[in-house]
Structure 1
Amino acid sequence: MNPVPAEVPAVPALKAAARVLVAGVGNIFLRDDGFGPEVARQLASDSRLLGSKVRVVDYGIRGMHLVYDLLDGVEVLILVDAVPAEENGEQAGSSVGSPAGSVRVMGIRSEHLDGRAALDPHGMNPAAVLGRLRTLGGELPTTYVVGCVPADVSEGIGLSDPVSAAVPGAVSAVVSLLARHALVNPSVTA
């Protein structure tokens, strides 16, 4: 995926029955890779944050499940995941790039995706999942990534301190994106 953080897609006019999916992705057994599932868990635990048209799912590493849900008709997708320190692939912990725990919001369009990425039915590679959506008869909805730079993706359970501290900011970022689309509970301010 080649995210473009500075360019968030324009907010399209949504139908009255708009469907929004907030997808937490990542492997909880690889420490900070469990960032997406943890943000999804916190969002789902506070129904005050979400409007009635918003569905929050912890997909973990179930890429095919996400594909099928997208084929069912989603107009806005917000992926929450661990992301590299830099767009050019620099690893977290290097002297260059964003520090661990940094939250980035990126807009994704179909031209950012590599349609050749292999789709593993037992894994979760968001670029592969979204890149193959069209070959399965679907279209990429308005898509955002709320990502966090990991500190530790070694085997183990539990987020590192900087990534754990970033979870509330990511929840706020998701709520702000929903507010842009008028899909957040009106009584909540992000």
Structure 2
Amino acid sequence: MSPRVLVAGIGNVFLGDDGFGSEAARRLAAEPLPEGVTVVDYGIRGMHLAFDLLDGYDALVIVDALPHGGAPGDVTVLEVGEADLGDGEFDAHGMNPVSVLASLGTLGGRLPPRTHVVGCEPRDVDEGIGLSPEVATAVDTALSAIRVLISAKPVQQPSTAKGV
């Protein structure tokens, strides 16, 4: 049986580049996917993601805007471990991925599955719909990274890739 993988697009489409994860999920969901892969645009619905994770996925790929001081459009792939979770406060009406993952035990689940974050450095997260040109172009780079993560190939070490 194929491993069950959840690709979770995260972001607020009303805040410019914060909608990066939602756009990547929308585009990926339109492609043929390997057996066992589910793609969901969670937007800002953290509780929905938490409850879906209780279904026992083997791996999770979170796709989100990830401000880390790089150039707009930089795509970063990180592996998230239990030590990275801390005890973030869970907000049932918001989306803080670290808090969602840390809450799984409280909700009756097990530790999060093997988790990767595919993040993109935003340029603009002010009110407005649509991605900046740099971040829109970076969606293709992110999709390439996600395809590697969800394929049957071994997962590569976390790395950073420059968006075009």
| TM-score scaled by length of structure 1 | 0.78
Q: Give the gaps of 5 or more residues in structure 2.
A: 155-164
- Aligned residue identity for 1:168: D
Q: What aligned pairs does 1:77-156 form with structure 2 within 5 A after superposition?
A: 77-85=60-68, 97-115=69-87, 117-138=88-109, 139-156=111-128
Q: Tell me which residue corresponds to 1:8.
A: none
- 1:178 maps onto 2:150 in alignment: yes
In 2, the alpha carbon distance for the partners of 1:66 and 1:181 equals: 26
SS of structure 2 residue aligned to 1:46: coil
Structure 1 stretches of at least 4 aligned residues deviating more than 2 Å after TM superposition: 179-182
Aligned residues: percent identity? 54
Give the alignment of 1:20-39 within 5 angstroms.
20-39=5-24
Q: In the alignment, what sits opposite 2:40?
A: 57
Pairwise CA distance, 1:37: 0.4
Alignment of 1:7-26 (within 5 A): 16-26=1-11
SS of equivalent residue, structure 2 residue 131: coil
User: What is the CA RMSD across the aligned residues, in angstroms?
Assistant: 1.5
- Greater strand fraction, Structure 1 or Structure 2: 2
**How many pairs are equivalent?**
154
If the length of structure 2 is used for normalisation, what is the TM-score? 0.90
Which structure 1 segments of 5+ residues have no match?
1-15, 86-96, 183-190
What is the identity, as a one-letter code, of the residue corresponding to 1:72? D
- Residue 151 of structure 2 aligns to a residue whose secondary structure is helix
Point out the structure with max Rg over C-alpha. Answer: 1
| Residues 100-127 of structure 1: per-residue CA shift (max 9 Å, x gap) | 1000000001111121x22111111101
Q: Is the 8 A contact 2:2 2:35 kept in 1?
A: no
| Matched residue SS, 2:90 | coil
